[in-house]
Structure 1
Amino acid sequence: MTGSSSSPVAEGTPRGNGLGSRAAAALVFGSSAAVLVVEIVALRLLAPYLGLTLETSTLVIGIALTAIAIGSWLGGLLADQVDPRRLLGPSLGVSGAVVALTPAMLRTTAEWAPAMLLLIASLTILVPGALLSAVTPIVTKLRLTSLSETGTVVGRLSGVGTVGAIVGTVLTGFVLVSRLPVSGILIGLGILLVAGSALVEWRTRGWSGTPALTLVVVAGGLATTVAPGGCDAETRYHCARVVTDPDRDSGRTLVLDGLRHSYVDLDDPTFLEFTYVRAIASVADTAFPEGEPLAAHHVGGGGLTLPRYLAATRPGTRSLVSEIDSGVVRIDRERLGLRAEAGIAVRAEDGRLGLRRLDTGSRDLVVGDAFGGVSVPWHLTTVEAMTDVRRVLDEDGLYVANLIDHGGLDFARAEAATLAETFDHVALLGDPVDIGLDPTATPSGGNLVLLASDRPVDLRAAQEALDARRTGWKIATGAGLTSWIGDARPLTDDYAPVDQLLQPSSTRGGA
């Protein structure tokens, strides 16, 4: 009989190369899952320094895909030139060491050498991603013993790798991030990868190199404890800290991802630190009869400064808050003195979904103050979202929104155009330079407040309140606002390039 054929091999038994089919599947599954864990957690590590924007997400995804491409190509190339058994252990071990060091490296670089952050971030994703992606072609080489089963082996391992990537994504997004700090996730993953490296080395070549890699993982864990950029709490969405005001004993600032989001006076909820908060309070004070309780809805909660203010100045006010981050709500209760009897109810939910749950005409006031980094989440900016806001307001209701923009203020102009498309009356509050009242000066940007209603608002009274609070802000409306908006295009669910319209500030000011 001429020709040759491969002998049947029992599932899970080695084929003379020290790697059974179950071990091969486990290596491919685990390494593919680890690549996605690193990718998702890297987004959270970078958010405090680069913002959680579409550009940041695109950058991280692009680097991860580049790593997968490079690793797959080089892994296959090297597996054809070197004994594949000599490659598996180092690939897992070195990637584990880099992963464990990533939190300390990124946070230290961001604080001490920010110009190098993108380079270091790219390397901390690229190096382990490439090494882990090389595992699949290396394992495939080890499992191929006959050309007659090439399709079966390659297809099976490719499928296993894809399932691993899916599990890594789901496990990180739904389980790990909600239960562990990001530094703990990466150090734990580093430990698992080094342990896998040790096991592979033991099966193939002994324990060479593993003790040194273990020391690197331990060093990564220790470095994380002293690296800058620590958090009081890592919530599902933010690195959160509560900072005491050195000039006011009862003052607390809620810092999320390095940005000041809220200022709360634990003893005096009528004390308003941030200018934009004083502006919104001025509008609310003058748009409704003094002291009259309101039914208010707040899209975005943070430290709940405005709900507390309304509860103090308008007893009986019912404020419902949609705050997507349950960890921030927990901080409000444990660190910022939120009490159930204050008439403030908080739902841990997306702001747009929260609007849909409200009855038509059920609110006097809706406040938009939701941010991801320095940008309003795009789906809260569109004509469709504003139509839902208009639906839940009663006939005399008022919508007030906080925005942040810089440079040409393209996003702010587009959002003003969006509100003008939806409501009968729109006004813009801000620094005179930013809202076009001083055409000789160049806008610097920062916070702006838009108000919208289907009934006229007493803007003269609102301006008097702004002056009394010494905000320095003015109000633009009518033809002046129309000129300021210019040819800005309203935002819709089909077209809302918020991240592209926004221009970053050269400073990291508070919201």
Structure 2
Amino acid sequence: MSPVQARVLAFFSGACVLVLELVGTRLLSPVFGSSIYVWSALITVTLAALAVGAWLGGLLADGRKPERWPPRLCAAAGLWLAAVPLIRRGVLLAATGLGLKTGALAAAAVLVGGPLTALGALAPLCVRCCASDLARVGRAAGGVSSLSTAGSVLGALAAGFWLLPLLSAPVVVEGTAAFLLAAGAFLAWGPRKGAVGAVAGALACWAAFRTVPPPGSRHHIVRESVDSLYGAVRVVDREDWNSRVLFIDGVANTLAELATLKNTSDYIAAFELAAAARPEAKRALVVGLGGGAIVGRLRDGWGIPADAVEIDPTIVRMAERWFDFKPSGEVIIDDGRRVLEREGPSYGLIYLDAFAGDSSPEQIFSVESFRAAKRRLAPRGLLIVNLIGTATGPDNDLARAAQRTLREVFPSVSMLVASRTLDWRTGITNLVFFAGDAPALPAAGVAGRPELLQYWISVSDRWVDPGPDGRLLTDDSSAMSYLTAPGMARMRTQMLAHREGVEL
């Protein structure tokens, strides 16, 4: 391997490292989500693999015939990655038994730990090749390190801006595998024979990808699966649940009856209570579309048109195709916070229901965002905020923080535990906040609506004060990811125990 080849290899190996680190979260997200725990697992595996690889590469660089190792390491990394789409489902299913944190760590290690170790071993070998004598070792090491880091910059940009938005995670993995196999072939055999090897490697990766079994089982039919800009989005018909489910990063975002596509989730009924409390509302704004159920309920049940804001166009398309979503107002593809900050029409009801798998967008759930929402409310308007957490007990930091922050803006704030489950006080559930200048009193509005009246009666004892001393959520100090993480981790652990959401 010539010094020029070594420098080129250092650059592109650095690019591959960042591509694998970013695509790794997409490989795990259908089961483990994309929370702080998953990112920590990927970063831990990446750094550990690079450390082991650098140590191994140093040993190989000082051994006999170090020039023979770069093509072998490239080929080994490529072959490992070529197998990832084939073994991914089995690895993730096996890792579910280890729980959220350990399972994510173990799955990341198996899927990308080996290739990252091989890539980490290339740097010392490239330094050895570029250092013609001891007097130039420092310059050679600095040059290789600089090129590798520059390659990582390219890899981060390419993966985040182009590859993952346009291609699925398995395709990106197989493309990286084909590139590494081609690099190994060129280094081992030169341009002519290497070209043949590169084509053979690419065909092998394509064949491996084509042999991946389609998702689903006898109880699960995956209608559509897309790795969008914002997560792994899947529509699955679950016959055992009698539901069509919209999964985002493995979390059930929307459930609808298979036969009617009617959403029967308790929190949607809680959303309707806001319309019952403000029947004079002329228009609503929904931030976070999901399957679009609340838009239809407001239109059909209350005659209230609703504008919908959704940052992910994939969600809008899937809602229209699979959940019979029909807009009653404008559908805005944008960040909800930006829409709230704009000048525009006033709304009698504003719903903040934005989720992306495990997380709630920090820019939506801050005191500044709530002030922007208040400016868009009509007189006597209501802001309705949906969060997932624990209502009472030592783990209700999120509920207390949300109440504290809303009360900085609105004189009247109340929290309803939307779920009718038995463990609603300490279990993970939907927490729906109603905030405005006057209390939300839906009792009169539910008269003549049997289903909503029954729901209202069943949750009448679930208006809860989560307690004082909550954290004030601001743009500069939000901590939403940390406040939501414990509750979402509990929910993920429960899901993994029953293998719910494992739709690969």
> If the TM-score is normalised by the length of the shorter chain, which range does it land in?
0.7 to 0.9
| Structure 2 match to 1:301 | 289
Instruction: Summarize the alignment of residues 74-473 of structure 1 with structure 2, pairs less than 5 Å apart.
Output: 74-115=56-97, 117-118=103-104, 119-203=106-190, 217=205, 220-222=208-210, 224-226=212-214, 232-244=225-237, 252-263=244-255, 271-289=262-280, 293-294=282-283, 296-315=284-303, 317-339=304-326, 342-359=327-344, 362-406=346-390, 408-430=395-417, 443-461=426-444, 466-469=452-455, 472-473=458-459
More relative contact order, 1 or 2 (CA 8 Å, 6+ apart): 2
Amino acid at match of 1:457: A
What's the CA shift for 1:326? 1.5
Structure 1: distance between partners of 2:94 and 2:67: 40
Give the secondary structure class of the aligned counterpart of 1:457: coil
What's the CA shift for 1:307? 1.4
Residues 432 and 242 of structure 1, relative CA distance in 2, 3 Å threshold: closer
5+ residue gaps, structure 2, are none
Kindly, what percent of the aligned residue pairs are identical?
28
5+ residue gaps, structure 1, are 1-17
Residues 310 and 195 of structure 1, relative CA distance in 2, 3 Å threshold: same
Residues 418 and 487 of structure 1, relative CA distance in 2, 3 Å threshold: same
**TM superposition score normalised by structure 2:** 0.83
What's the CA shift for 1:423? 0.9
What's the CA shift for 1:424? 0.7
Structure 2: distance between partners of 1:67 and 1:219: 28
Instruction: Summarize the alignment of residues 55-66 of structure 1 with structure 2, pairs less than 5 Å apart.
Output: 55-66=37-48
Structure 1: distance between partners of 2:277 and 2:362: 30
Structure 1: distance between partners of 2:308 and 2:259: 21
Structure 2: distance between partners of 1:375 and 1:218: 34
Structure 2: distance between partners of 1:455 and 1:441: 26
Note the aligned Cα RMSD (angstroms): 3.4
- Is the Cα–Cα contact under 8 Å of residues 51 and 372 in structure 1 kept in the other structure? no
Once the two structures are superposed, what CA deviation does each residue of 1:336-363 show, in whole Å capped at 9, x if it has no partner? Answer: 3444xx433222222222222343x722
Give the secondary structure class of the aligned counterpart of 2:482: helix
Once the two structures are superposed, what CA deviation does each residue of 1:103-149 show, in whole Å capped at 9, x if it has no partner? Answer: 44332222355125431322323221121122122112111113343
Structure 2: distance between partners of 1:188 and 1:391: 49
- Is the Cα–Cα contact under 8 Å of residues 362 and 480 in structure 2 kept in the other structure? yes
Give the secondary structure class of the aligned counterpart of 2:402: helix
- Between 238-247 and 488-497, the greater mean CA deviation after superposition: 238-247
What's the CA shift for 1:169? 0.7
Amino acid at match of 2:339: G
- Is the Cα–Cα contact under 8 Å of residues 97 and 216 in structure 1 kept in the other structure? no
- Is the Cα–Cα contact under 8 Å of residues 266 and 336 in structure 1 kept in the other structure? no
Residues 485 and 358 of structure 1, relative CA distance in 2, 3 Å threshold: farther
| Structure 2 match to 1:493 | 475
How many residues were matched structurally? 473
What's the CA shift for 1:304? 1.2
**TM superposition score normalised by structure 1:** 0.82
Give the secondary structure class of the aligned counterpart of 1:380: coil
Give the secondary structure class of the aligned counterpart of 1:91: helix
Give the secondary structure class of the aligned counterpart of 1:190: helix
Structure 1: distance between partners of 2:113 and 2:241: 46
What's the CA shift for 1:425? 0.5
Residues 272 and 114 of structure 1, relative CA distance in 2, 3 Å threshold: closer
Give the secondary structure class of the aligned counterpart of 1:241: strand
Give the secondary structure class of the aligned counterpart of 2:62: helix
Give the secondary structure class of the aligned counterpart of 2:274: helix
Residues 110 and 461 of structure 1, relative CA distance in 2, 3 Å threshold: farther
